[in-house]
């Protein structure tokens, strides 16, 4: 079976899930923690080398503050949770902003936890325009390797993106690393994650070809 090297995760649908249960929207985020850990463990078992979670974006922080506080807390908890695992962990996002939680500053340099088996990237206060803007600030001569011109240069090309919650769009997720990614969408909301979703996505990916634009 052809296993992706790097999977991107868009864990969408927390608010719609909460709505559907008659809960307030912000309660949905807390329910995303357990799926995040389960998914990490599945990736480790299967031998996936790198995993990137879409935490929250600079755009997201324009939401009502009750929600902003809730998803920020969920991201802090998720990163701390992953730091208890065999992860080589990096939090990536715009730290020059009050919206970046200071609790996560220590994770903005990659650090190895446990056996450090799986490379894990967690996007926090990430913005695609911010990410690309590094090239304008400090243009390099390496025009053939765009990934090195990004703030997110330590995050490699993504083979498979899995998005929960039914929307078929990238919503600003790492535009450069996603140019050749296969994109699999699961209709269920992220808090309703099951391992079946993950294995379905892998089975689908296994049937795709790789052309890298060629």
- Residues in contact with a copy of itself by the rule CB under 8 A: 57, 59-60, 62-63, 128-129, 132-133, 135-137, 139-140, 143-144, 146, 149, 167-172, 175-176, 178-184, 208, 211-214
Task: Give the nearer residue to a copy of itself in terms of CB position, either 83 or 133.
Answer: 133
Question: Token digits for 74?
Answer: 């969920």
Task: Give the nearer residue to a copy of itself in terms of CB position, either 21 or 167.
Answer: 167
Distance CA 91, CA 109 (A): 7
Q: What is the dihedral of CA 123, 124, 129, 132, to 10 degrees?
A: -50
* Closest approach of a copy of itself to the CB of residue 182, in Å: 5
Task: Give the nearer residue to a copy of itself in terms of CB position, either 47 or 139.
Answer: 139
Nearest alpha carbon to residue 124 among 171, 86, 71 = 71
* Closest approach of a copy of itself to the CB of residue 58, in Å: 9
* Closest approach of a copy of itself to the CB of residue 129, in Å: 5
Nearest alpha carbon to residue 11 among 78, 65, 81, 62 = 78
Task: Give the nearer residue to a copy of itself in terms of CB position, either 65 or 109.
Answer: 65
Question: Token digits for 197?
Answer: 């979703």
Residue with tokens 């208890």: 84
Task: Give the nearer residue to a copy of itself in terms of CB position, either 80 or 169.
Answer: 169
- Phi and psi at 7, nearest 5°, equal -110, 135
* Closest approach of a copy of itself to the CB of residue 156, in Å: 16
């Amino acid at each position: 079976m052809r296993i992706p090297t790097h999977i991107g995760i868009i864990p969408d649908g927390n608010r719609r899930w909460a709505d559907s249960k008659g809960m307030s929207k912000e309660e949905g985020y807390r329910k995303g923690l357990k799926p995040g850990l389960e998914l990490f463990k599945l990736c480790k078992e299967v031998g996936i080398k790198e995993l990137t979670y879409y935490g929250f974006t600079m755009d997201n922080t324009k939401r009502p503050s009750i929600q902003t506080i809730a998803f920020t807390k969920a991201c802090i908890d998720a990163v701390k949770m992953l730091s208890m695992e065999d992860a080589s962990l990096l939090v990536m996002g715009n730290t020059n902003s009050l919206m970046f939680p200071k609790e996560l500053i220590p994770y903005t340099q990659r650090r190895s936890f446990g056996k450090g088996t799986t490379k894990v990237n967690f996007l926090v206060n990430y913005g695609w325009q911010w990410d690309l803007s590094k090239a304008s600030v400090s243009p390099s001569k390496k025009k053939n390797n765009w990934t090195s011109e990004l703030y997110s240069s330590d995050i490699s090309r993504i083979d498979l993106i899995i998005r929960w919650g039914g929307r078929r769009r990238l919503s600003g997720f790492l535009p450069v690393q996603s140019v050749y990614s296969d994109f699999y969408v699961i209709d269920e909301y992220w808090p309703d994650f099951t391992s079946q979703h993950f294995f379905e996505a892998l089975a689908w990916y296994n049937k795709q070809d790789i052309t890298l634009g060629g």
